[in-house]
Amino acid sequence: MEGARSDTGSSSDDRKLRGFWRSVWMISVPHKVLHFAWRVCRDILPTKEKLMRRKVLQEDWCEECKAESETTVHLFWRFPRAQEVWQHIKLLFSFDPCTISSFLDLMWNLMVLSEYVEEKVAMVVTVAWAIWVNRNEFRNGKRKKTGRDIV
Ligand SMILES: [Zn+2]
């Protein structure tokens, strides 16, 4: 999220950032989804990458592709099943998906840099939440859902 990170100090950016967090809390989704959205935007979800940094885990490979570390952007955006999910819901994004570097960056693009469409934002956080729920179920030995099932 270039804009928010590098230009702190200017009051108009502070205002934008405050407005952003306010808007995050106002997305009309169930509370558990909202709470998830807040955590993923703050980048405090316990992904494997986070757990390895806290020395809880010895490795942080994504359990599915085992090709990259399990960061929020990998889990919710880049890895093949996430891509399958996003293709299924056919949302049009007005930015280049390849440039997204964090979930916060994704939300910033959706809510600040693009025209704010609430249903779209609600859909994105709900889908990300469903991916997270299934990721946890899978880690607990349950079935892995396809992108279509998640949608
Ligand atoms: Zn992966």
User: Residue 74 C-alpha to ligand 1 middle, in angstroms?
Assistant: 6
- How high is the pLDDT of residue 7? 47
- How high is the pLDDT of residue 18? 92
User: Residue 140 C-alpha to ligand 1 middle, in angstroms?
Assistant: 17
Of residues 49 and 63, more confidence is placed in 49
- How high is the pLDDT of residue 80? 84
d(CA 33, CA 50): 20
User: Residue 113 C-alpha to ligand 1 middle, in angstroms?
Assistant: 28
User: Residue 11 C-alpha to ligand 1 middle, in angstroms?
Assistant: 39
d(CA 123, CA 113): 18
- Give 108-142 pLDDT, tens digit per residue: 999 999 888 999 999 999 999 999 999 999 888 88
Q: What is the mean pLDDT of the chain?
A: 87
